[in-house]
Amino acid sequence: MTDWTAQTAQAKQWFESLRDQICAEFEAIEREAGSDASFEYTPWQREEVGNPDPGGGVQGLMKGKVFEKVGVNVSTVKGSFAPEFAATMNGASAENPGFTATGISLVAHMANPHVPAVHMNTRFLTTQSAWFGGGADLNPPIPYEEDTSDFHARFRAACMAHNPTYYERFKKWADEYFYIPHRGVHRGVGGIFYDHLECEDDAGFARHLAFTQDVGKTFLDIFPQLVRRRMGSGFTSDDKQTQLAWRGRYAEFNLVYDRGTLFGLKTGGNIDAILMSLPPEAVWS
């Protein structure tokens, strides 16, 4: 089994840097809106019986005037999957259940229903294999074609710079993944989703890290533009009810279908950090 310790540390360093850049930009938006809201950071340590170094992470949370609730979490964990869960993970098995994982996860729920909510996640995992995964998707309660088009255009450009097949493949994957079967609807207007970008050697790691970094940079470029475009829009009580009902659908997806939620719960992650994706308020009619 290849020792990916140095590569995991390099990926971790990037995810923490991206976290710092995103949080600074979101706080700047709050200042523009006349708010002094800032992120509060809560470190946490994972526990695993018989594991002296199980890792942990830092949960970043802000509740402001523009960002009603936004979480930006970074974690780096190491241990062994439970046997039944190991059988479902790429490169793991009951005989070889060991893993490491480092990544960043972000979900933003906005105060103004005209501002789209958003999700972004990128990660590096190792078992008997090593790979990158992640993506970003836009989740507007009240969609605007201009916002959808601009979001997809930026991610299309980022993908094309690395592989001409990436955008269509990863957009299709997002459309299929971010779908609520029991409702028969998509969670939002899509984006990109990718997984199992295998790193067979140092060159593969460098190549896929570069793409994953561009996913993060693209998010940092386009999403604040959309927030600033819509955050001053007026809205009605009906608009707010539309947002709250949509948030109910969002919560259903994350609790029933989301792989990241399941991974966190199955690997002894921090419950508050795992469930930070849930909206601060929602309704079911």
Task: Give me the active site residues, please.
Answer: 119
Residues 130, 137, 244, 70: is their CA dihedral positive or negative? positive
Q: What is the DSSP string of 161-215?
A: TT-TTHHHHHHHHHHHHSEETTTTEESSSEEEEEEEEE--SHHHHHHHHHHHHHH
Q: End-to-end distance of the chain based on CA atoms, in angstroms? A: 52
Alpha carbons within 13 A on the beta-carbon side of 45: 6
Q: How far apart are CA 122 and CA 132, in angstroms?
A: 7
Locate tokens 């005209």: which residue? 114
Helices (H), the chain: 5-32, 83-86, 145-160, 166-177, 202-230, 237-256, 259-266, 271-274
Three-state SS for 218? helix
Strand partners, 102: 76, 124
What's the alpha-carbon Rg for the chain, to the nearest Å? 19
Task: Check: CB of residue 8 under 8 Å from CB of residue 100.
Answer: yes
DSSP conformation class of 231: T
Q: How far apart are CA 68 and CA 114, in angstroms?
A: 13
**Which is nearest to 168 in space by CA: 193, 196, 195, 137?**
193
